[in-house]
Structure 1
Amino acid sequence: MLVVTTNDIPGFRVVRHLGLVRGLTVRSRSVVGNIGAAIQIFFGGNISVYTRLAEHTRQEAFDLLVEHAQSMGANAVIAMRYDANEIAAAVTEVLAYGSAVIIEPVTDGSSASTAPPGPWSGR
C-alpha cells in the first residue's frame, strides 16, 4: 500500500477514486504516565512519555487508515493528512485521512519512472 501526502504520485496514474478513508483512535494519558511526564517537565527537554504516546497513537491511526483503504480495494492513498483534537482533559483523538485510489504505473513510453521506495510505501 502506497500512502503519500501529495495529490499525485510520480510514475503512476490514478485510474479510479474509491473515496475517503480514515483511521481514528482516541487515547488518554495514564496517571502513571502523567507522573513520569511531570518529572520530565520539571527537568525540561523532551517529554519522552508523551512523545511515545503521540507516536504510538499516530501509528495506530495510520494502520487503521491503511486497513480501511485495503478493505475498499485500494492500492494507494493520496492526500493523506493527520488531525488531532483534545476531546476532554487528557483525552485526545487522532485522525488519519486521505483519498483511497487505485493506481497503475505509467507505461506510455515516457521517461517517467516508478516511485522509489519510501518510508510510507510499504516496500
Structure 2
Amino acid sequence: MLIATSDTVAPHQIAETLGIVRGSTVRSKHVGTDIVASLKQVIGGELKGYSSLLAGAREQALDRMIEDARALGADAVVAVRIQTSTITQGASEILAYGTAVKLKP
C-alpha cells in the first residue's frame, strides 16, 4: 500500500477515487510516565515516555487507516494527515485520514 501526504503518487496516475479512509486510537497516560514527566519538567529534557506513547499511537492509527483502504480495494492513500486531540485529561486521540485511490496499471 502506497501512502503519500501529497495528492499524487509519482510516477503513477490515479484511475479512481474510492473515498475517505481513516484510522484512530485513543491512548491514556500511565501513572509512572506522569511521575517521570513531572520530574523532567523541573530539570528539562525530552519526555521519552510520552514520545514513545505517541509514536506507537501514530503507527496504530496509520495501520488502521491502511486496513480501511484495503477493505475498499485501494492501491494507495493520498493526502494523508495525522491529527491529535484531547479526549479527557490524560487521554488523547490520534486520527490518521486520507483519500483511498486505485492507480492506473
Using the size of structure 2 for normalisation, the TM-score is: 0.95
Query: 1:26 aligns to what SS in structure 2?
Result: strand
Residue by residue over 1:2-26, the C-alpha shift from the partner in whole angstroms, topping out at 9 and shown as x without a partner, is 0000001121010011100000100
Query: 1:86 aligns to what SS in structure 2?
Result: strand
Counterpart AA for 2:50: Y
- Moved beyond 3 Å, runs of 4+: none
Moved more, 38-47 or 19-28: 38-47
- Please give the alpha-carbon distance, in whole angstroms, between the structure 1 residues aligned to 2:65 and 2:90: 24
- Please give the alpha-carbon distance, in whole angstroms, between the structure 1 residues aligned to 2:41 and 2:83: 25
Q: How far did residue 33 of structure 1 move?
A: 1.4
Counterpart AA for 1:97: Y
Question: In the alignment, which residue of structure 2 is the partner of 1:48?
Answer: 48
Q: How far did residue 97 of structure 1 move?
A: 0.1
Spell out the pairing of 1:49-88 with structure 2 (5 A cutoff): 49-88=49-88
- Please give the alpha-carbon distance, in whole angstroms, between the structure 2 residues aligned to 1:52 and 1:40: 15
Question: In the alignment, which residue of structure 2 is the partner of 1:22?
Answer: 22
Q: How far did residue 72 of structure 1 move?
A: 0.9
Unmatched tracts of structure 1, length 5 or more: 106-123
Q: How far did residue 45 of structure 1 move?
A: 1.1
Unmatched tracts of structure 2, length 5 or more: none
Question: In the alignment, which residue of structure 1 is the partner of 2:34?
Answer: 34
- Which structure dedicates a bigger proportion of its chain to helix? 2
Give the count of matched residue pairs: 105
Residue by residue over 1:30-51, the C-alpha shift from the partner in whole angstroms, topping out at 9 and shown as x without a partner, is 1111112222222211110110
Identity %, equivalent residues: 37
- Please give the alpha-carbon distance, in whole angstroms, between the structure 1 residues aligned to 2:24 and 2:50: 19
Residue by residue over 1:59-99, the C-alpha shift from the partner in whole angstroms, topping out at 9 and shown as x without a partner, is 11011011110111001000000111001101100100000
- Please give the alpha-carbon distance, in whole angstroms, between the structure 2 residues aligned to 1:89 and 1:50: 14
